[in-house]
Amino acid sequence: MEIGPIQLIAFAFERTDRFKGDIIKELNDLRTRGVVRVLDLLFVMKDEQGNIMSYQDSQLTAEEEREMGDVLTTLLGLDGGATPEGEAAAESLAMAEAEYGLTMGDIETLADQIEPGQAAAVLLVEHVWAIDFRDALQDAGGRMVAQGFLTPQVIMMVGREIQAVAEAEAAIEMAHAVKGAAILDALVTVAEAEAVKEAAIEEAVETVVTAELVKTAAVAEAVRTLIIAGMIEEAATEEAIATLLAAGLLEAAAVEEAEDVVAQAEAVAAAASAKDGDSAAVGESA
C-alpha cells in the first residue's frame, strides 16, 4: 500500500458550545478535491472526572482499516495499550514518513494535553498531493531533511525581518537615486560652466578681434594723416606699412584684405575708364 506523507494535527478547544459543523465542511472539501486523505480523525472530550468520550472517522477502506487498525486510538494509548495491528500501522506510518514528522513520543504526549472539561480534535491526514512530488524527489536522489509549519510567532519574526530588509533595500535605492540625481546635477552644472566658459572665450576672441581691427584702423588712419600732412611720401607708403607690420602694429590679414579691396577698386576704375574711352571713340567717328 503506497502512502503519501503523513501529518498529525491536534487542536484544543477550551469550550464545546461553538461547534457549527464548519470544520467538517472544510475538511470534506479538501477530501473531495483530492488534496488530503483522512486516515484517522479522532474527536476527544474529557469530563471533569477525566473520563474520555471520543468520535472517530476515516477515509480508509475496510481492507486498509484491517491493515492499519485504529491508528490514532492505538498511537495515543486511549485503548489501554498498543495492539499488534496498531504497532504495524505505526511502523507503516513511520516508513511513509521516512526521516521526518512526529516521533512516537510526541504522539503519546498528545493525550496528556487534553484537560478535563475541554475537547481536542486529533487529525491524521495523508497529503495525497505530495505523493508524486515525493516520488520525483526520491527518483532524483533527494530526501526530506526538514519540514513543519511556521508558528504565528515565527511568522511575525520573519515578517519583521522581511520588513527590515525591505526598508533597508528601499533606503539603499533612495540613496542610489539621490546619488544619481546629485551626479546629474553636477553634470548639468559642469555643462553650464563649459557653456559659460565657451561664451566667455568667444566674447574674449571677439573683443580681441575688435581691438585688433580698431588698432589697425587707427594705425591706417594715422598713416593716411601723415601722408596728407606731407610727412610721408605716397611712394613710401608701402614701406611704412611693411614697417608697421614688422612692428606688430598692423595685422597681416587686415593688410591683405585692404589690398584686395584696393585691387578690386582699381579693377572697377580701369573697367570704367575703358568704357568711357570706347564711348568717346564712337562719338568722334560719328
Residue with cell 496498531: 86
Asked whether the beta carbons of 254 and 212 are under 8 A apart, the reply is yes
Going by pLDDT thresholds of 50, 70 and 90, the confidence category of residue 97 is very low
Asked whether the beta carbons of 211 and 218 are under 8 A apart, the reply is no
pLDDT above 70: residue 9: yes
Domain assignments of the chain as residue spans, ordered by start: 6-148, 150-250
By the 10 Å C-beta count (0-12 exposed, 13-18 middle, 19+ buried), 276 is classed as exposed
Cell numbers found for residue 76: 495515543
Q: Which pLDDT value is given to residue 140?
A: 92
Q: Which pLDDT value is given to residue 208?
A: 58
pLDDT above 80: residue 52: no
Q: Which pLDDT value is given to residue 101?
A: 43
Highest mean pLDDT: which range of 11-25, 44-58, 64-78: 11-25
In single-letter form, the type of residue at position 235 comes to A
Directed axis angle between helix 237-246 and helix 152-228, to 10°? 150
pTM comes to: 0.42
Residue-wise pLDDT for 142-160, tens only, equals 887 777 766 666 667 666 7
pLDDT above 60: residue 235: no
